[in-house]
Structure formats: structure tokens, C-alpha cells
């Protein structure tokens, strides 16, 4: 029997056209985030992932911050296109998930296990990627479209100041989400024979 898990994996897509229409209660979104943060694996069970969930005015404020910070570095003649993209694909949504890793936790592991010192930041990123995928796929199951963005480190200081984020939390990614208002086309796949090798 085919697993519903792989149905969810297949259906997860990147959506750049989202709206702020409420189709999933806030409580359900918070439940998804809590379950994902609690159960996504991490090296040495470090549980170093940190998440900030922004909804409503806080979500909009984030993307206003992104625009303000980008305006400082994007040439004036190109900023309108940047602003239109942010407003139409990210700020237009219902909320944003901010993904962090607590570097104090990572540093503690490096001190306790010096022979693995160089690996802990790498393993931290592995865990963060799994968490992003879990939440992204869970949002898709609820009928919400999302994308994964990386405006860090440009926005790091402003984000930490706005939401009083601890200094040890390192911002890794931003995931705006909302009601998907444009169907995504079919994906193209490279032959699996080029990507998977099996020996038996």
C-alpha cells in the first residue's frame, strides 16, 4: 500500500503567489510548528532549532524590514522590481516562519566533544534543513503554499531588535506562507539512474 507520507512529499511545492486569506486557524499552524520543532531529529539530540512564527502585522512588518534593508544596498533603478517581488510573493501571505539555530548550544557541544568540533555546525544545518522540510510539507497538507527565502544576514540585526531575539540565535531562513492562489506546473526530473546507485 502506498504511503500517505510520499503523497505529501510529492505535493510539496514552492509557491510565489500567496494570499493572506485565513484558511487554517492560527492554533493549527502553531501546533504544526510545535510538533515539528519537538520531533525533528538533531545531532546528539541537541535540540538546537529555534523558530519564530510571525502572523498578521508581525508578518507584514518582517517584509517591510526586508525592503528597508535591501533599499540600502539595491541600486535605486532596480529597487522597484525587488519591492514588487517582496510585496507580491512574500508580504502578501498570511505568515512567516523564521528559522534559527542556537549557536550557544552548538558551542557547548563543541566544547564537550572537541573531536567533532568542526562537524557540529554542519550537523546543525542538516537538522535545520529537516525541520524546514517538515514544516513546509505540513503546511502543504493544510492547503497552504510556501517558499523558502534567505535574506539573512542582511536582515539579521533588524530582526533581532524587532522581536528581541537572543544574540545566540543565528537566522538561517524565512518561510512566507499563505493560501496558494496559483497552481504550480509539473516538475521535471532527471533520470533516477543518474542519481541513485544500488548494490546488492
Quick: pLDDT tens for 53-99.
Answer: 999 999 999 999 999 999 999 999 999 999 999 999 999 999 999 99
Residue 20: what are its φ and ψ, rounded to 5°?
-95, 15
Residue with the three cell numbers 512574500: 90
Q: Are 26 and 55 contacting, i.e. CB atoms less than 8 angstroms apart? A: yes
CB of 87 closer than 8 Å to CB of 27: no
- pLDDT-wise least confident of 5-14, 132-141, 168-177: 5-14
Q: How far apart are CA 138 and CA 103, in angstroms?
A: 26
Q: Which residues pair with 102 in a beta bridge?
A: 169
Q: Which CATH class is domain 4-182?
A: alpha beta
pLDDT tens figures, 105-119: 999 999 999 999 999
Please measure the distance between the N-terminal and C-terminal CA atoms of the chain and give it in whole angstroms: 24
Q: Which of 21, 13, 19 lies closest to 184 in space, CA to CA?
A: 13
d(CA 49, CA 166): 13
pLDDT at 150 over 60: yes
Amino acid at each position: 500500500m502506498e504511503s500517505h507520507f510520499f503523497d505529501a512529499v510529492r505535493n510539496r511545492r514552492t509557491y510565489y503567489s500567496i494570499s493572506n486569506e485565513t484558511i487554517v486557524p492560527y492554533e493549527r499552524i502553531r501546533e504544526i510548528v510545535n510538533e515539528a520543532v519537538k520531533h525533528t531529529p538533531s545531532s546528539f539530540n541537541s535540540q538546537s532549532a529555534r523558530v519564530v512564527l510571525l502572523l498578521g502585522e508581525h508578518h507584514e512588518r518582517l517584509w517591510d524590514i526586508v525592503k528597508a534593508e535591501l533599499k540600502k544596498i539595491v541600486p535605486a533603478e532596480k529597487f522597484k522590481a525587488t519591492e514588487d517581488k517582496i510585496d507580491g510573493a512574500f508580504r502578501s501571505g498570511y505568515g512567516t516562519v523564521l528559522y534559527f539555530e542556537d549557536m550557544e548550544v552548538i558551542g557547548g557541544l563543541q566544547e564537550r566533544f572537541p573531536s567533532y568540533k568542526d562537524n557540529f555546525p554542519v550537523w546543525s544545518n542538516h537538522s535545520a534543513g529537516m525541520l524546514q522540510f517538515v514544516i513546509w510539507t505540513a503546511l502543504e497538507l493544510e492547503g497552504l503554499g510556501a517558499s523558502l527565502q534567505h535574506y539573512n544576514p542582511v536582515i539579521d540585526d533588524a530582526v533581532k531588535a524587532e522581536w528581541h531575539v537572543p544574540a545566540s540565535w543565528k537566522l538561517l531562513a524565512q518561510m512566507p506562507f499563505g493560501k496558494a492562489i496559483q497552481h504550480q506546473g509539473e516538475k521535471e526530473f532527471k533520470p533516477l539512474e543518474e542519481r541513485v546507485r544500488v548494490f546488492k
